[in-house]
Amino acid sequence: MNNFSQTLAVAALILSPSLVEAATCDESLAQLRAELDGQSPDALLAVVNIVRGAGCSQATERAAMGQASAVLAQRAQQLIVVNDLDGADAMLANAPALHWAVQAVRGDIAAKRGQREEAAQMYSAALDTITDPTLTGSDVRLVPVAERIARLAQENMMLSGSMSSTITRGGAASGVLKSAMRGIQIEAVGSKPAPTATTETYVAPDEDSTYAEVPAVDPYVGADKEVYAVADAVATSVKAVYLPIKFAFGSADFDYAGVREAQTVANFLLSNKVQRLSVVGHTDEVGSDAFNLRLSLQRAETVSRFLSGQGVRAQIYVDGKGERQPPQYVDQSIYSDEERRAIARRVELVLHD
C-alpha cells in the first residue's frame, strides 16, 4: 500500500434507524446509504442535497454530512495512491461538512506536491478538528489516528521552516502546540485524561492499515464503557514541539529565518505567560557524535539566550542530545535523505506546568 494511504483512517458517524424521525428523512437516509458504496461522487452529493431538505433533525443531518464527507475523503485517498492528485483535489472540493479526514487528506495532497507549509496547515487543522469534541465525537480508536496526524504536522512544519501552522496570526496555539498546552494543564492537576462516554460509531483502520468499517451497532451504547477524550490522550503523547528554527551550517548562530521563528516562539511564550520550559537541541547524523552533541547543546543555549533577551522570564532548562535521539518519523521512506535530516536538525520545546 502507498505510504500516504496510511495517513487516512476515516472516522465518520454510521447512520442507524434510531436516528430516523420521519418517512421523508428515512427515505433520504436509505438513498444515502445506497450511494455510500457507489462509484459516483455526483450521485452521492445529489443525495446529500435530498437529505438536507428531508426534514431530518440537525443532529441527523450533521451525521449524514459527516458520513458523506468521510466517504469522499476515502475516495480521494484512493486517488492519491495512483498519484491522481488533481482528481483527489476535485473529489474533496464539494465535501459537505467540516471533517478531519478531509483536512488530513488535503494535507496528504499538499505533502505529495512538496507544499510543506500547506501540508503542515492542513494536518494541524485536522488535529484541531479531531480533538474538538464539538466537531468529532470521542472514541478511543481515534487516538492513534490523531497521534499520527500530530507527527505528520510536526514533520511538515519542520520542512516548511515556519511556525505558522501551530501559532496563529493572533498568537494563539493551534495544532501540535495546542495539544502541548493542553498537556501541561493535565500535568498540572496530576491526572490522566478525563474519561468521556461516546455514543458514536466510527470507521477505524484494521491491523493492516486498510480501512474497515465498524459495525453499525455501537459497541459502546448501553455497555457502560468509557473512553478517554481524544484531545487529552493526544496531549499526553505530545512530549515536545519541534521548532523549525534554522541555524547557519555547522554553527549555533541563527540564520535570518531562524531569528524570525525564534521571535515567534518568544512572542507566544510571553503572551501565554509560560513559567517553565525546556529547550532541547538535536542534530542529524552527519559529523562525529562528539561534535553533534556539543553543537546541539550550543544551539539550545542560543535559543534560550534569545528568549531571555526578548523578555521571557520562564525558568528555562537547556539540553543537547546530538544525533542520539532521531525523530520517530511516521514513515521515513516518504522523505528524501535531506528532508529526513532537516527534520532531525531540530530544537524541541517542552512545556512544563
Number of residues written out for the chain:
353
Give the pLDDT confidence score for residue 211 in this predicted structure.
25
Residue 72 to residues 31, 52, 150, 202, Cα–Cα distance (Å):
16, 17, 22, 15
Q: Same domain, yes or no, for 198 and 246?
A: no
pLDDT tens digits, residue range 188-216?
776 554 444 333 333 333 333 322 232 22
pLDDT tens digits, residue range 210-241?
222 322 223 223 333 345 689 999 999 999 99
Rg (CA), the chain: 22
Q: Same domain, yes or no, for 42 and 120?
A: yes
Q: Same domain, yes or no, for 220 and 318?
A: no
Give the pLDDT confidence score for residue 8 in this predicted structure.
38
| Nearest CA among 285, 343, 11, 3 for reference residue 157 | 343
Give me the number of domains the chain comprises. Answer: 2
Is beta strand 227-228 parallel, antiparallel or unpaired with respect to 195-196?
antiparallel
- At 212, give phi and psi (nearest 5°): -110, 140
Sheet holding 347-352, edge to edge: 241-243, 347-352, 276-281, 315-320
Q: How many CB atoms lie within 10 A of CB 17?
A: 9
- How is residue 302 written as a grid cell? 542560543
Give the pLDDT confidence score for residue 315 in this predicted structure.
97
Q: How many CB atoms lie within 10 A of CB 189?
A: 9
What is the domain-level CATH number for residue 322? Answer: 3.30.1330.60
Give the pLDDT confidence score for residue 71 in this predicted structure.
92
Query: Cα separation of 106 and 125, whole Å?
Result: 10
Q: Same domain, yes or no, for 283 and 349?
A: yes
pTM of this structure: 0.84
Query: Cα separation of 132 and 138, whole Å?
Result: 9
Residue-wise burial string across 68-94, b where 16 or more C-beta atoms lie within 10 A, e elsewhere: bbbbbbbbbbbbbeeeebeebbebbee
Q: Same domain, yes or no, for 104 and 150?
A: yes
Which segments of the chain have a pLDDT < 50?
1-23, 193-226
Q: Same domain, yes or no, for 183 and 324?
A: no
Q: Same domain, yes or no, for 166 and 196?
A: yes
- 100 conformational bin, left if phi > 0, alpha if psi -120 to 50, beta if neither: alpha
Give the pLDDT confidence score for residue 35 in this predicted structure.
86
Give the pLDDT confidence score for residue 228 in this predicted structure.
65
Q: Is residue 211 part of a domain?
A: no
| Nearest CA among 156, 109, 150, 113 for reference residue 128 | 150
215 burial (CB, 10 Å; 0-12 / 13-18 / 19+) is exposed
195: containing domain: 1-206+216-237
Q: Same domain, yes or no, for 16 and 155?
A: yes
